[in-house]
Amino acid sequence: MKTKNSLLFVFLILTFCNSLFAQEKNEDKKAKYKHQYLKVSLLEFFSGDFSFFYERSINKKISAEIGTGIVFKNFIREFVDESTSSAGRKVVPGMSFNFGIRYYPYIPGELFYLSADYKYRRYRTKYTTTGNNGENLNFNEYNGRSIYRLGVGYNLALDSRMFLDFYSGIGFWGDSNKTYFQQINENTLEYEFIEDIQKETKLHFNIGIKFSYKL
């Protein structure tokens, strides 16, 4: 009887140890593909967007990336369009938001990947001009842009934790510009604000670099 109890006790101990070993082995396998990155965009700054991103693995092949930033003066646009740099124009900073999915066919979180992204940018532009009677007239333009794109990218390792994320994408963007401008009312002979809404959709292409730090 004692022998049977001893054998049963040994069997339970071995089963418990085997369960712990299998659990640790599964956790080690998961740890190999789990990854987290903190990123900062390097080239979007020149289009007036300074954003930070966070990427986290969902499973062995797929990860999700979210980002947010501040939208301010568009340096590229002002370089090619002299009219936007007038003294009566002032950009009021806004916010941007980005959500994306990454698919890694080879090494999780590294090397080549395919992507799908959505980005939204919004900011306000204030214009001041002079009316016929010398009075100041104010215009407020609210700029909103939704960007949808598919892309490819490559993570170049600088060391075990730091990477350069080179990416490119193609898709389309839709602009929604709402302008409030002053116009004289012929009945009251007073200035009032008029609303004007313009929408536009165009093909979109982008390239960029992000500096990534692996957590």
* Residue 85 in this model has a pLDDT that exceeds 50: no
Which pLDDT belongs to residue 134? Answer: 60
Mean pLDDT of all residues in 142-149: 86
- Label residue 20 by pLDDT band (50, 70, 90): very low
Tens of pLDDT, residue by residue over 156-176, are 999 888 999 999 999 988 877
203 SS3 class: strand
- Mean pLDDT, all residues of the chain: 76
Buried b / exposed e along 50-74 (16+ C-beta atoms within 10 A): ebebebebeeeeebebebebebeeb
**H or E segment at 109?**
none
Provide the whole-model pTM.
Answer: 0.71
172: which 2 tokens? 């389309």
Burial class (CB in 10 A: 0-12, 13-18, 19+), 192: exposed
Which pLDDT belongs to residue 91? Answer: 76
119 forms beta bridges with: 98, 147
**H or E segment at 78?**
helix 75-80
Conformational region of residue 135, where left means phi above 0, alpha means psi within -120 to 50, and beta covers everything else: beta
Mean pLDDT of all residues in 25-51: 76
Residue 115 near residue 154, CB atoms below 8 Å: no
* Residue 152 in this model has a pLDDT that exceeds 90: yes
119: which 2 tokens? 């980005």
- Label residue 209 by pLDDT band (50, 70, 90): very high
Interior angle at CA 18, CA 12 and CA 24, nearest 5: 140
Tens of pLDDT, residue by residue over 99-120, are 999 999 988 788 899 999 999 9
Separation of alpha carbons 164 and 162, rounded Å: 7
